[in-house]
Amino acid sequence: MTNSKVDHIVRFFETLTPQSVARFSEIYTEDARFKDPFNEVQGLPEISRIFRHMYVALLEPRFVITQQVQQGEHLMLTWDFHFKFAKFRPSQLQTIRGASHLQLAADGRIAVHRDYWDAAEELYEKLPGVSVLMRWLKKRANT
């Protein structure tokens, strides 16, 4: 896979907007598969639905790719995902740190996208109300 195709994918995610979700066919195959801690879907319409919902549920979401490693058709990206909660005001800037394993098709588009991140530590502990319970559970598990 050429570096320009990988660079295109990285740039696409780092500059993602609600409008650019409509251009997902540039970086995903029609039958691509996507999995994260909350979703497991197949097909471009379903993947697009997940990312469109991100812009409804969150304020100012954006990805910052921190590292990339490629071996053949496999690409591993580590990232920081910055956002604010839309339902909680005022909302502070939050960060989730994670990684994506992408399997690329022969044309350089993503055929399989698997996100890895710890929902308990990176998300639940940041939710008002839930955070107290999560910290208590974590403390109990470590004693």
At 67-126, the pLDDT tens digits run: 999 999 999 999 999 999 887 666 788 899 999 999 999 999 999 999 998 876 655 555
Average pLDDT over residues 3-13: 94
Number of domains in the chain: 1
Domain presence at residue 123: no
Residue 39: give the domain boundaries.
3-117
Domain presence at residue 55: yes
What's the CA gap between 140 and 73, in Å, rounded?
43
Domain presence at residue 133: no
Domain presence at residue 124: no
Domain presence at residue 68: yes
At 30-82, the pLDDT tens digits run: 999 999 999 999 999 999 999 999 999 999 999 999 999 999 999 999 999 99
What's the CA gap between 98 and 81, in Å, rounded?
8
What's the CA gap between 26 and 2, in Å, rounded?
15
Q: What CATH number did the domain enclosing 113 receive?
A: 3.10.450.50
For residue 31, give the amino acid letter: D
Domain presence at residue 140: no
What's the CA gap between 24 and 85, in Å, rounded?
24
Record the pTM: 0.83
Kindly write down the DSSP assignment for every residue of 54-66, as one continuous string.
HHHHEEEEEEEEE
**Secondary structure class of 127 (helix, strand, coil):** coil
What's the CA gap between 54 and 24, in Å, rounded?
15
pLDDT of residue 51: 97
Domain presence at residue 52: yes
Domain presence at residue 57: yes
